Structure 1
Amino acid sequence: MQQPEMLSLARAAMRPAYDVVVVGSGYGGGIAASRLSRAGQRVCVLERGREVPVGAFPSRMPELRRELQVHSGKKRSGPGTGLYDVRLGSDINVVVGCGLGGGSLINAGVALRPDARVFAHAAWPDAIRTDGLLDLGFERAAAMLRPTRHADAPALTKYRALEAASGVFGKAPVTAPVTVSFDAVVNPAGIAQAACTLCGDCCSGCNVGAKNSIAVTYLADAKRHGAEIFTELAVSHVERLSGGWRVHFAATADASETASVDAKTVFLGAGTLGSTEILLRSRERGLKASDRLGHGFSANGDIIAFALGGRNRANAVGVGEPPKFTDDPVGACVAGQIELPDADDLNASMIIQEGTMPSSVAPLLPVFFIAGGRLLGAAQSLIKGVYKGPLAHLQSFFVVSHDEALGRLVLRDDAVAVDWPDVARQEVYARVDDALTRAAEAVGGRYIKNPLAATNMGARPATAHPLGGCGMGETAETGTVDHKCQVFAGPTGAETHAGLYVCDGSVMPRSLGCNPLLTISALAERAMVHFARDHHLGFDTEPIRTDAELEPTA
């Protein structure tokens, strides 16, 4: 299939000013860029990571190591444009994506709408529930991202392994909706996508081109409508001007190369850590903001864990592209899930998903599980690898649930850090530990909470779904942004900064209890409708049709 054109431009092509500057290119930033470009705005997108074309994602261990950046206090290692941005904290570890397309490049792509009780919670502004635009937001996000339940998922080996473990809950798994194209198609942005090969490498970047990432959907659409996209530029802070805003940034690879660009409107979509960090730095330089800025951080009840030594083959390690083995398709990273809602207590609800380790991690798995004598037959695993030895029975579990969102994001040494001293004592972790212990025992395996528990990375809870820090509220006393995602202009009242918005996971005022990508997208789509109404703009949402369009194949 023809390689899509590169989306980003050389730094020298940047103009001194635009109508809109979008900071970040994940679900929130990509949507803002697409919709505002369609509305006729001159849009500039700034992304700290680099553009990674289809086929250039890491497929081997040495390549994966080069994509790892690790931040621990003042210590930093790895390239600033590495796809995996790991933040090691004193209380909790956080993993986020870095690249043009944000977390959509390396996530599992599970697109779920939260339990209705989530939005009924008082943490949300009333307008979220009453103005009728939330449903429209979910509808528009789904139309572009096209989540699909793979019809053949129940036949996959790893799905059947999850089914065997589900008996203890008295509830069978269901297929998970994922943002993956299982058939060759021309997507709504006019990009031809190949069909998923079921290689299982979604979380290291799709080298097939089947994943409906922001790069091949909203950002491609933004580019077609005139947006100018720039990569490897890290925004430090924003400054209020008389007629708009100045966005200060530096080259990701060299912080001494500083510059700025002006705009009437700025949308921060740099992710929970990035957008909060930018606003915290801006406040230090005089920007008025709510005292709630940085508060309400949530790990979304995340747990990644394993069942080791079970009776059933799991086949839960990716095979890459081209595939290392073809006799037993792995499937998308997440193909099935066990949904366990609690009718009496929303916060006790959870979703247990089977997961897949990407092929580039495969050589490390024996090392992880041999540590501490966890793996019997270690020599066999080292000799046969992970596809035929004991690790072929390794089951991976991704769990999303609810926590109390009591973390706080603060600036420390001019970088964002998470303060949450009691996070490990959150009830969610004991609840999930109990559930996964029973699931592992049901298939004759042992529950391994974290194979890295003896290391600095494994001694604390970890999340790949950080939320909050710029949470929504009715006023500045209860939130950092209003229901339209506009930033409050001080510690009290409902006045907002004209032209300053936040559109990403940071605006969530509580945990979601499901993978957050669809909710982030829906709220961003909703914010775009409000922005268009408030500024007397219009944009259509019709799919792009081009002369090069290919007919979808079955």
Structure 2
Amino acid sequence: MLRNRTGLGVPTNSPVGTRFCDNGDHLAVALPLRDTQDFAANEGPVITAYRRFETDPDTDGDRPPVRMYLQDGGVPTIMVWVLQTLGAPGLVGRLVTKGTQYWWQRVTNTNDNNVSSELSEILGESPSLARSLPLLGMGEDVANGVLHLNSKAVLVNSWTPKDSRHHFSAMRVRINDLSRRLGAKFKAKPDVPTERTVTVHPLGGCPADTSEFAGVVDSFGRVRGVPGLWIVDGSVMPGPVGANPSLTIAAFARRAAVTLRDDEDVDGPPSTPLDPPLAE
């Protein structure tokens, strides 16, 4: 939309690129306290459980309560292998020794096709990170990010965690508490400002209409001022969903699809008036 807004005829006062946020995403890792402790984070599916938290509002009433979700994550098996390889002492020596033993076993016993035990001995014990439990946090950050193209036509994002510091601090308090209850540890201090975050739920950029402002699209995903163009992905969210947003996006897409199916003039203007109108 940013690259083609002129060619598409998007109104100049359309809020394209605004209301960007990361859905309050925060990645943490609960580290085992003992070498024998193993959360087996590389086995089974991720997000098998979640807890919803809501903090009490500040006594002075200046800040609303923070609502968040914490979920169990996972470590991909391939990542465990990489971590084991990088952190395994004496790896080269064991590789030569076990490789030679395995070659000799194959020569003397053609039915021995199991390499798992030899590979396990080569790699050694799992590093602590491979035995840790990733914790996935998400919630309601401030959707004040602006997306734009720089002089090289590269997408630039102005969003930072600064204005959402209250949210991330409250989330780290809950993560610390949950880690202690699991008999694990989490190193981040709640009061240390978060400078960067990692998100898998980028939202906004083409926000839909709300009761407070006119968006890039209406409540059906129809781009205002561009007949026939519809947007139904996460970019139409005008703010954080809080939980994993996939079902919310799917519900919006289904709503748009049903309307698109029944629209008699798809390439024409929307069949219903757009309200509220774009601000002058």
TM-score computed with the length of structure 2 as normaliser: 0.68
* Candidates 279, 304, 312, aligned match of 2:27: 304
Structure 2 portions without partners, runs of 5+: 58-62, 89-121, 267-280
**Root-mean-square deviation (Å):** 3.2
Q: Provide the residue aligned with 2:113 in structure 1.
A: none
State whether residues 75 and 130 of structure 2, in contact with CA within 8 Å, keep that contact through their aligned partners in structure 1.
no
* CA apart distance, 1:347: 5.7
Q: Provide the residue aligned with 1:332 in structure 2.
A: 45
State whether residues 149 and 156 of structure 2, in contact with CA within 8 Å, keep that contact through their aligned partners in structure 1.
yes
Separation in 2, partners of 1:509, 1:346 = 19
Correspondence list, 1:367-382, <5 A? none
Separation in 2, partners of 1:435, 1:475 = 33
* Candidates 38, 49, 69, aligned match of 1:351: 69
Change in CA separation of 1:368 and 1:523 when aligned onto 2, cut-off 3 Å: farther
User: Based on CA coordinates, which of the two structures has the bigger radius of gyration?
Assistant: 2
* Candidates 184, 195, 199, aligned match of 1:463: 199
* CA apart distance, 1:365: 3.8
- Describe the superposition over 1:369-401 as per-residue Cα deviations: whole angstroms up to 9, x where unpaired: 99xxxxxxxxxxx95243xx5445411101111
**Aligned residue type for 2:199:** T
* CA apart distance, 1:445: 2.5
**Aligned residue type for 1:462:** V
Q: Provide the residue aligned with 1:512 in structure 2.
A: 241
State whether residues 292 and 476 of structure 1, in contact with CA within 8 Å, keep that contact through their aligned partners in structure 2.
no
Does 1:439 find its partner at 2:157?
Answer: no
Q: Provide the residue aligned with 2:96 in structure 1.
A: none
Secondary structure in 2 matching 1:498: coil
Does 1:499 find its partner at 2:228?
Answer: yes
Does 1:313 find its partner at 2:51?
Answer: no
* Candidates 158, 163, 179, aligned match of 1:419: 158
**Aligned residue type for 1:313:** D
Change in CA separation of 1:351 and 1:476 when aligned onto 2, cut-off 3 Å: closer
* Candidates 96, 114, 124, aligned match of 1:384: 124
State whether residues 305 and 448 of structure 1, in contact with CA within 8 Å, keep that contact through their aligned partners in structure 2.
no
**Aligned residue type for 2:243:** C
**Aligned residue type for 1:293:** V
Separation in 1, partners of 2:246, 2:168 = 22
Separation in 1, partners of 2:33, 2:211 = 52
* CA apart distance, 1:536: 7.5
Does 1:472 find its partner at 2:208?
Answer: yes
- Describe the superposition over 1:212-269 as per-residue Cα deviations: whole angstroms up to 9, x where unpaired: xxxxxxxxxxxxxxxxxxxxxxxxxxxxxxxxxxxxxxxxxxxxxxxxxxxxxxxxxx
Q: Percent identity?
A: 27
Separation in 2, partners of 1:529, 1:286 = 24
**Aligned residue type for 1:408:** V
Does 1:407 find its partner at 2:133?
Answer: no
Separation in 2, partners of 1:369, 1:348 = 39
* Candidates 130, 136, 143, aligned match of 1:398: 136
Q: Which of the two has greater strand per residue?
A: 1
* CA apart distance, 1:424: 6.9
Correspondence list, 1:24-63, <5 A? none
Secondary structure in 2 matching 1:316: coil
- Describe the superposition over 1:319-370 as per-residue Cα deviations: whole angstroms up to 9, x where unpaired: xxxxxxxxxxx22122111222458798611111111111121134469999
TM-score computed with the length of structure 1 as normaliser: 0.36
Secondary structure in 2 matching 1:513: coil
* Candidates 245, 250, 254, aligned match of 1:521: 250
State whether residues 347 and 402 of structure 1, in contact with CA within 8 Å, keep that contact through their aligned partners in structure 2.
no
* CA apart distance, 1:442: 2.8
Separation in 1, partners of 2:16, 2:265 = 30
Q: Provide the residue aligned with 2:104 in structure 1.
A: none
Structure 1 portions without partners, runs of 5+: 1-278, 318-329, 371-381, 451-457, 490-496, 538-554
* CA apart distance, 1:527: 0.6
